[in-house]
Amino acid sequence: MCGITGWIDWTQDLTKQSAVLEKMTETLAPRGPDASGTWITAHCALGHRRLSVIDPENGAQPMIRSEGDNNYVVVYNGELYNALELKRELESRGHRFATTCDTEVLLVAYIEWGPAALERFNGIFAFAVWDAARQRLFAARDRLGVKPFFYTRSDGLFLFGSEPKAILAHPSFKPEVGPEGLAEIFIIGPARTPGQGVYRGLTELRAGQCLTVDRSGVSVRTYWKLESRPHEQSLEDTAAKVKELLQDTVERQLVSDVPVCTLLSGGLDSSALTSLAVDYYNRNGQGRIDTYSVDYVDNDRHFQAHAFQPNADAPWIKRMNGHLGTRHHNIEFDTPELTAALDEAVLARDLPGMADVDASLYLFCREIKKGATVAISGEAADEIFGGYPWFHREESLQASTFPWALASGMRADLISADIAAWIKPLEYIEARYAEAIAEVPRLPGEDEGQRRMREMSYLNITRFMPTLLDRKDRMSMAVGLEVRVPFCDHRLVDYVFNIPWEIKTAGDREKGILRRALQGVLPDDVLTRKKSPYPKTHNPNYLEAVRRRLLHVLDDSSSPLLPLINTKKVREIAESESAKSNIPWFGQLMSGPQLFAYLTQVDTWLRRYNVSVR
């Protein structure tokens, strides 16, 4: 994976602005620690930071390809998992290749097919191609939005980057936030509305979208989206198809010229991916695979099962490690490390995020990077197969809001009266929810229950899943670790989206069809294990540490957070017993301690980025 940035400007000669381009590119150095490159002409400037995974000796970017009198230049972040098939087809059409890297395949595919090449790609990507003859930039983002692409435009100027920090490094872009940005932070966050960049004037290209920039302006279109179709296969045929797609996806994503590992929690999803990876390694004589898990000091003493986290991972990790014979590495963190990493997580996201859930992943990835460059992870299985608790609870199914954000009223009460009157938080989230529901592709003939479950699937794939993909991308790439997510293969997502709910929950279990598909792949006890999310610390020391951290902010009259929040209400919560609550205000993991940590992250963000609210 890599970091990309660029600059189109029709009003000046960019060859005189190389220092600015270098500065924009350098902000992405953690994403690409292995190499750096820039390319600049009068009206187009492109920058790239490289993390070498395929063909490390070649594939430097920006990559230039000449066809006749025309030059095409690409900057690319991602991985094409069908690069070999595409390369063979392109060779049959007369193209020749100088490298074995997928960057060249992507560029030649664009030269051959233009924007229609997107329909042929299987992978995760964000890229931009400059067509010199036509003076046109074409950019695209993968179908599920695994790889990021932010941009801003104004008066003949277009800037883009893998992360906001690249655009923030340009002197014309100011770190300002208006009412919509504040609403995103205080009522939607740590999620973001698709396309919302939070900073004023910053947009994120949505999953499955592409854009063109030329002298006439910027045009954006959607090239892929979820579609509803009748599902006519039997339960057994459906399970067989799910297994076939998942196995093919995992095997494609194990291709690498650098070490690959898997993240193993002992749960259904990570155990399935690890089992398929071990089988592939065994069949191809590639030796033992490395697995990694994360835990926290004294979690074995302090863990208490509850509805959102029913069991601990440690015994199940040991079970799967013994079953598969992997080379396992257990990484453990303590409270001081977690609290210190809250700031690092903000700098990785350029925004406040999932508090210690982000911070622990950042630390985890940093440790993994010492032994591997590529990791396989189980994100997205719960969204596409319906594994989260809110798929199965009446209060969530009946709610007229995002089911992972049922505490909007409580959150709105934490905002200062003046700011609340300005941003209208409850109206804002209501409007964003209505937009999401209006997008759902309907299938004629569905009854009310089937219709609602289709809505729930769509909401989770398009609104909740991006939060976790953002988290995984930013925290892993902040330390130069590439994480691949097989459950985000668009073929699998498209297929599972149309499996009827009664088949998805086969055996009257959450993710029942996935469990059926994995029979014979996993031991029976692992196959039937109750879902438990990514582990967080249960150490009371962490609650006390983030409580003190927040109270310190509240006592600091210079804090930029104070005018934005109801300080009296926040202080009451911080000093009350309700701080110990396990009831989440966002997702499954963000409860009392995470609320305190999130607010301190907002304070850190406002200070470090010198954010203006206007």
- The secondary element (H helix, E strand) that includes residue 524 is helix 524-527
Task: Look up 261 and say whether it is catalytic.
Answer: no
Cβ(376)–Cβ(489) below 8 Å? no
Q: How far apart are CA 417 and CA 420, in angstroms?
A: 5
Among residues 574, 143, 525, 600, the alpha carbon closest in space to that of 358 is found at 600
Among residues 221, 209, 169, 172, the alpha carbon closest in space to that of 5 is found at 169
Q: How far apart are CA 143 and CA 125, in angstroms?
A: 9
| Residue 150: strand pairing partners | 161, 204
- Among residues 2, 44, 365, 488, the one annotated as catalytic is 2
Among residues 533, 541, 538, 543, the alpha carbon closest in space to that of 578 is found at 543
Among residues 132, 128, 98, the alpha carbon closest in space to that of 115 is found at 128
Q: How far is CA 367 from the centre of its chain?
A: 20
Q: How far apart are CA 426 and CA 183, in angstroms?
A: 9
122 Rama sector, left if φ>0, alpha if ψ -120 to 50, beta otherwise: beta
Strands 123-131 and 136-141, by their bridges, are antiparallel
Q: How far apart are CA 371 and CA 291, in angstroms?
A: 10
Q: What amino acid occupies position 306?
A: H
Within a 13 Å sphere around the CA of 285, how many CA atoms are in the beta-carbon half?
Answer: 0
The order of strands in the sheet holding 290-296 is: 327-333, 290-296, 260-263, 374-376, 482-484
Dihedral of CA 8/12/13/18: which sign?
A: negative
Cβ(128)–Cβ(139) below 8 Å? yes
Q: How far apart are CA 515 and CA 239, in angstroms?
A: 9
Cβ(268)–Cβ(511) below 8 Å? yes
- Pair of tokens at residue 603: 């304070």
Before 190, cis peptide (omega within 30)? yes
Helix (H, G, I), strand (E, B) or coil at 265: coil
Which residues are catalytically annotated? 2
